[in-house]
Structure 1
Amino acid sequence: MKITRWRESALPVRPVSREVLTATPELDSPRPPLLFVPGFGYGAWVFAEHWLDHAAVRGFRAHAMSLRGHGESGRSPRATLRAYTHDVVQVAASLPKRAVLVGHGAGALVVARALARYPARAAVLVAPVLGGLDTLGRALLRNPLGTAPALVGGPLRLRRRQLVSREVPAGLAQEYARRAGRAAPLAQWQLLLHRAPEPPVGEPPVLVAGSPDDAVVPAGALDRAARGYGGAPLLFPGMGHLMMLDARWREPVDAILDWLDQLPTIKE
């Protein structure tokens, strides 16, 4: 772990307003708070649809944030992975207890980077897009017209059936695809070219979850991500990339919350 980070002091990240949505359990709970981090192009709403309230029903105080330039957070057209990581660390540090960080898609990479700067209680990487040519190649093969513009700074446009399974009605799936925004062009480039994140502070337990039928993240990428944290991925066949919006959204979130409840480091 690095003790001195000269860039943070010499080149501070520009502050922006940050959207944070919260769901609170009916009774006080000793469980740590959850902080959900969406992937590129999506705001806090993707977790507010189902997972946020469901986690509160299960006794977790749950928060979902939007990275800068996403959702209702402040605009930042020149944002970098470093700026996105800064957003997550700042929101997590503002919570009254050390949080569990849950990142989806490219948000999982941002969470992995934040773990080197924030002593999380645990972390969950859901359908993680951790960069690299295998994910890019898969996206180009499945949707060349929607993927190619991202290589030159344009928006990434995924088809509705790359996002959710056929169990989701076509109209609703199209609405999810329509609501997708875009990440900053530089951050998109860095997603492909970034270096591996630094090791997490304090060695928190890390779970990787995904679907072998994800049209965005290859099954091999899930295996490699999980091995990097000393485990195996938790798999949910038949689901799309946006697991929190798919028809069987309860299955992965309940499995994640069950995993957290079984961790001795989570119980106080």
Structure 2
Amino acid sequence: MSQTTRKPLLLRTRGMAAEIGARLRVMIDEGELPPGARIDEKDLCVAFDVSKTPLREALKVLVSEGLVTHRQYIGYRVAPIDLADLNSTFELLHGLEAMAGELAQQRIGAAQVSAIAAKHRRVVECHEAGKRVEYFRLNQEIHQMIVDASDNPVLSTIYASLMSKVRRARGAANADTLRWAESMSEHEAILAALTDPAHKDLPQILRAHSENTAREVMAVLNRTWVETVSNSLSELPGVGAPG
């Protein structure tokens, strides 16, 4: 077979691997594949309707990015999250949320408040319909909109960068947490503070919301870490589950 005949097949394989990789990143970011979860190649091949070749090419890329790990006898797993680094990032985010709230109170315009309120209504609809993944996405968008309303581009850029670091952790906790209703109530308070010019507590409300979210995320991930260690040990040859 000539090289010109093989090349299109190679390109299609690479394109398929890139698409699979993109879908896996979303699954990891949104908690469908939580930290430490074993990646079942057979199940994913069926779900994506692909062979193992493009799937493994995608997994190799995710390993190089640090999102997935591979070990002999254990196979592929979603990479664990550095909890110490995550906690430090959350601490910084609490302060940025409060700063954004303080500046937004002074600078936010009516059109921005209206846009946030409209998105909040969609969040409520997702909550009532049990659409957790869509709720999570809209939730993140609202927070960024509030930060952007501070009219401080440096703050917006730093905040977006830090949120990208904790997105996977928040997605993992979002898939497992029972705090959803409480978070929804806190978002109602945030909107009330935004829509009432006389309301001066927005910085404190945003900071408390950030701290409550971080506390729940860390609790869920600590439980997940213990379960992951236990499962990993039980899968090693000659090692049973700890008693």
Short-chain TM bin: under 0.3
Question: What TM-score does the superposition give when structure 2 sets the normalisation length?
Answer: 0.24
TM-score normalised per structure 1: 0.23
Structure of greater relative contact order (alpha carbons < 8 Å, 6+ residues apart): 2
Larger Rg: 2
Higher normalized helix content (fraction of residues): 2
